[in-house]
Structure formats: C-alpha cells, structure tokens
Amino acid sequence: MTTVLAARELRKSFGRTQALRGADLSVGDGEILAVMGPSGSGKSTLLHCLGGVLRPDSGEVTFGEIRIDRLADRERSRLRRTSFGFVFQFGQLVPELPVVENIALPLLLEGRNRRSALAEAADWASRLGLDGLWDRLPVELSGGQAQLAAIGRALAARPRVVFADEPTGALDSVAADQVMELLADTVRGEDACMVIVTHEPRVAAYADRTAIVRDGRVVQPVRAR
C-alpha cells in the first residue's frame, strides 16, 4: 500500500502543555484509519498537524512529496483547500446558507461558476440521501442531516484525504451508523483516504486500522481490523 500521509516524531506544545510528544502515524492509499484514545491525549492536535491546520513545533508531516510542516501559511491553506476535506463534531455549516449552497462552497472557492457548482452540490446532496432538503437552512435539519450536509461539503472538492474529528459525537447511534456508512462508502468510492478521530468502538469498526493515542504518542501496535 502506498503511503499518502505520514507523520514522524511530531511534537506540539500549547504553553506548558505538551499535547504531542513524538507522535508517528501513516495513512495508506484508500485507507480509513481510526484514531482513538483518552480525552486530552492529543488526538485533535495530531489531526490538525496532519491536516496542515496547525504547524508542529518539530517533526515531519509528509503528503506525497510535500513537507506540510515546512510550507508557509498561504501554501498550507491552499493545500488544505485543494487536497483535504474536514468534518467536525458539529457540522459547522454556514447558518445563513441553504444545504446546497453550503455543499457548493468549496467548489465556488475553487473558482467554479455558480451554476455548475450548485448542480454538482445537488448531486452530492442526492448521493447523501438529502433529496428534497437542498433548500433548507441548517437550523431546519436534524443533527444527522446536518452532519451529512457537512460531509457533502467536505467531499465536494474531491479531496485526497478526509479528516474527521468525532463526526458522530453529537448523534444518536442510528444517525451515527447512517453517517458512518455514507462517509466510509463515499470516501472509498472516491479513492480518497480518511483519518477519523472517535471514542466510539462502533465508529472505529468502519476503519481498516485503529491507532491508539496516549499522552501525545501513538502507542504501538496500530492494529489491523
């Protein structure tokens, strides 16, 4: 399996808190990797360093031939926009915009014309089972529907890597299963890979491998499913 994304010896502190203390991790082509571990162990910080949201204090993050940790802020945000998709615990949809426009946002940012961006966003909405909900505002959706819309937005620009931080944390188990099924199927169907932070074993069961984080390190072995 080809490695898409690799982190080596990542360290990151916030003031006196050492959130990462030498974390190593890699994600292969087509792989879904779950990241589990206690609250405060550094999972979100690790995800943010991998996704170029945060710059580690030291260590390396490699995406193909690119050293993400060495990129200037502008290049890092460009890479995030063009190659990565993010899903968070609370969808973080733009409250003023209907579902279809939320999903279209990354396409519009890419410079696509409005008509084709909205048409493609409507396709995504259908694929995610949101037919008939295109015109709704986020406040008019259930938690599960809002999360599906957020997934549509994360995937619309066809990212190489999807980062999800407790994407089912605010959902009941039925909605969580529906969200995970669609998320995992879509990521696999798009030939993307995904790093998903979760504390729910039923969510980790959708992954190919699980990495456990403890005290700012990925403790070995990373077990296969």
Which residues would be at the binding site for Mg ion (CB under 5 A)?
A: 44
Closest C-alpha among 53, 66, 88 to residue 6: 66
CB of 15 to ligand ADP, least distance (A): 6
| Exposure string over 153-171, b if 16+ CB within 10 A, otherwise e | bbbbbebbbbbbbbbbbbb
From 38-46, 75-83, 118-126, 144-152, give the range in contact with ligand ADP by CB under 6 A. 38-46
Beta bridge partner(s), residue 197: 35, 165
What is the DSSP code (8-state) at residue 172?
Answer: -
Contacted entry of Mg ion, ligand ADP, none for residue 40, CB cut-off 5 to 8 Å set by kind? ligand ADP
* Binder of ligand ADP out of 26, 31, 43, 151 (CB under 6 A): 43
Contact 1, 30 (CB under 8 A): yes
168 binds ligand ADP (CB under 6 A): no
CB of 65 to ligand ADP, least distance (A): 27
Contacted entry of Mg ion, ligand ADP, none for residue 145, CB cut-off 5 to 8 Å set by kind? none
41 binds ligand ADP (CB under 6 A): yes
For 40, the token pair is 């405060």
* Binder of ligand ADP out of 16, 39, 73, 139 (CB under 6 A): 39
Dihedral sign, CA of 169, 175, 181, 186? Answer: negative
Binding residues for ligand ADP, rule: CB under 6 A, are 14, 17, 19, 37, 39-45
